[in-house]
């Protein structure tokens, strides 16, 4: 009856597993590097992939596999793999799909490290990236050439809070036979059903919502089973495996050789996180919406960026794509860097930390931290202004959060109304 279960039930009961020898209700942590074989013949079979079994935990581990299968089920995917971090998931995805001389089109609004990976790291290996406004079909089409293999975007990119218009992206990608890869970190399969919107590969930093409260660093790649891999030259050796081609090269070559595996201890925590995912996301999105509405009416705040606000350019799109919710992160503009710093320093409850989608509410000044390596001109192009503050709303009581935000704004020296 697996396919009939709803999201929340699948998150708890989705994967049918063998009964545990001790009747443990929770899948145990298999804290081991290697696994025992009965005889040399079994070992030979294992190495030839004739029998599914575990041999060495860099390659597969039962606890990690349980997490991979649960997340794949929640994404309605075909196959999935867990990795040591979100950056490892992105690196492995691109290296699996691209070879020297090929390129991808990436949204110009991206997580800072992803931008640097594509622009600086891969560039030296001959893998190119063309940045484009992926919501603009003309710009997207113009960026594509005969060596383009994929389009990459995030569901809601921060700090711009830019929402990708997937109907446009997937239409053009399909016309050109390109893989649509999406970073679903901030929306997770609970808010965004990637497969329904024409995505082929989903990438996650499971460090954020999925971990269950920022208790560990992790990543995942899910193949949604809806792309014809015979179009991808980098997978040539695996074309005979049809639907398995992408995951086969990843498992047998790229992931195995790079060695960025998830530990069983982390997989245990992340599986626990999946069980409570929707409860936490509902509260966090609700808190973010309440905070955004409060900030929007505050005279000291110039502008609030949050797709859950009716005034947002992305409101309709977000409503349609993300179960009517706007996510747990918002950004807003104060007068300048000094005001942003004053505000951040005056917060009592909300923590100053470089993370998002934690159970705790967190705040950061993007221009001086995550975007510090970019030039002022680049920051301007990415809409990272000196007065911009990013806030990720946790699952605390919204009244306490509003009190904290309100008292911190009261701290700012009054420079008159800045609202246009
Ligand atoms: C945090 C984050 C990453 C990187 O993930 P790590 O687990 O820190 O390596 C990638 N993409 C997005 C959208 C993120 O928020």
pLDDT of amino acid 420: 45
Ligand 1 geometric centre to CA of 402 (Å): 27
Look at the pTM and tell me if it is higher than 0.85.
yes
- How remote is the CA of residue 40 from the centroid of ligand 1, in Å? 42
- Which ligand 1 atom sits nearest the alpha carbon of residue 357? 15
Kindly list the averaged pLDDT for each block of 10 residues, start to end, along the chain of length 420: 80 88 94 96 91 93 97 97 98 97 96 92 94 96 97 96 97 97 98 98 98 95 98 97 97 96 98 97 98 97 97 96 96 96 97 97 96 90 94 98 97 63
Q: What is the pLDDT of residue 156?
A: 98
Atom of ligand 1 minimally distant from the CA of 356: 15
Ligand 1 atom at minimum distance from 218 CA: 7
Query: What's residue 413's pLDDT?
Result: 78
Residue among 154, 208, 366 whose CB has most ligand 1 atoms within 8 A, to mutate = 208
Confidence at residue 305, expressed as pLDDT on a 0 to 100 scale: 97
Atom 7 in ligand 1: which residue has the minimum CA distance? 86
Q: How much distance in Å is there from the Cα of 376 to the middle of ligand 1?
A: 23
Q: What structural domains and CATH numbers belong to the chain?
A: 2-30+61-274 (3.40.640.10), 278-410 (3.90.1150.10)
Spatial separation of the C-alpha atoms in residues 109 and 153, rounded to whole Å: 8
Nearest CA to ligand 1 atom 5: 86
* pLDDT for residue 96: 98
Task: For Cα atoms 234, 239, 240, give the angle at the middle one, nearest 5 degrees.
Answer: 155
Secondary structure of the chain in the HEC alphabet? CHHHCCHHHHHHHCCCCCCCCCCCCCCCCCCCCECCCCCHHHHHHHHCCCCCCCCECCCCCHHHHHHHHHHHHHCCCCEEEEECCHHHHHHHHHHHHCCCCCEEEEECCCCHHHHHHHHHHHHHHCCEEEEECCCCHHHHHHHCCCCEEEEEEECEECCCCEECCHHHHHHHHHHCCCEEEEECCCCHHHHCCHHHHCCCEEEEECCCHHHCCCCCCCEEEEECCCCCHHHCHHHHHHHHHHHHHHHHHHHHHHHHHHCCECCHHHHHHHHHHHHCHHHHHHHHHHHHHHHHHHHHHCCCCCEEECCCCCCCCCHHHHHHHCCCCCCCEEEEECCCHHHHHHHHHHCCCCEECCCCCCCCCEEECHHHCCCCCCCHHHHHHCCCCCCEEEEECCCCCHHHHHHHHHHHHHHCCCCCCCCC
The pocket around ligand 1, CB under 6 angstroms, is made up of 85-87, 111, 113-114, 154, 183, 185-186, 205, 207-208, 217, 219, 356
């Amino acid at each position: 009856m697996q396919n009939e279960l709803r999201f929340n039930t699948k998150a708890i009961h989705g994967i049918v597993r063998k009964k545990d020898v001790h009747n443990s209700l929770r899948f145990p942590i298999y804290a081991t590097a290697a696994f025992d074989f009965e005889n040399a013949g079994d070992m030979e079979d294992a190495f030839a992939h004739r029998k599914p079994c575990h041999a060495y935990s860099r390659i597969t581990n039962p606890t990690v596999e349980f997490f991979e299968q649960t997340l794949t089920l929640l994404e309605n995917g075909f196959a999935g793999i867990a990795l040591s971090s979100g950056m490892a998931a992105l690196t492995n995805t691109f290296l699996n799909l691209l070879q020297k001389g090929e390129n991808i089109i990436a949204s110009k609004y991206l997580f800072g490290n992803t931008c640097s990976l594509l622009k600086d790291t891969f560039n030296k290996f001959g893998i190119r990236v063309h940045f484009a406004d992926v919501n603009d079909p003309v710009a997207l089409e113009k960026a594509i050439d005969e060596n383009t293999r994929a389009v990459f975007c995030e569901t809601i990119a921060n700090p711009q809070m830019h929402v990708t218009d997937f109907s446009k992206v997937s239409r053009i990608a399909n016309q050109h036979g390109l893989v649509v890869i999406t970073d679903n970190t901030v929306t997770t399969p609970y808010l965004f059903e990637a497969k329904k919107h024409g995505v082929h590969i989903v990438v996650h930093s499971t460090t954020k919502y999925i971990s269950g409260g920022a208790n560990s660093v992790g990543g995942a790649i899910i193949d949604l089973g809806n792309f014809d891999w015979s179009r991808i030259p980098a997978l040539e050796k695996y074309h005979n495996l049809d639907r398995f081609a992408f995951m086969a090269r990843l498992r047998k070559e790229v992931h195995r050789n790079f060695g960025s595996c998830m530990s069983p201890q982390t997989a245990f925590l992340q599986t626990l996180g999946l069980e409570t995912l929707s409860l936490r996301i509902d509260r966090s999105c609700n808190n973010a919406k309440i905070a955004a509405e409060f900030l929007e009416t505050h005279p000291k705040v110039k502008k609030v960026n949050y797709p859950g606000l009716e005034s947002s350019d992305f409101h309709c799109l977000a409503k349609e794509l993300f179960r009517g919710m706007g996510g747990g992160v918002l950004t807003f503009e104060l007068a300048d860097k000094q005001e942003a710093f004053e505000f951040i320093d005056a917060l009592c409850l909300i923590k100053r930390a470089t993370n998002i989608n934690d159970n705790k509410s967190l705040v950061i000044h993007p221009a001086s931290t995550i975007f510090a390596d970019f030039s002022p001109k680049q920051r301007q192009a990415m809409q990272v202004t000196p007065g911009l503050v990013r806030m990720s709303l946790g699952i605390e009581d919204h009244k306490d959060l509003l009190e904290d935000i309100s008292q911190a704004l009261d701290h700012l020296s009054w420079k008159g109304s800045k609202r246009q």
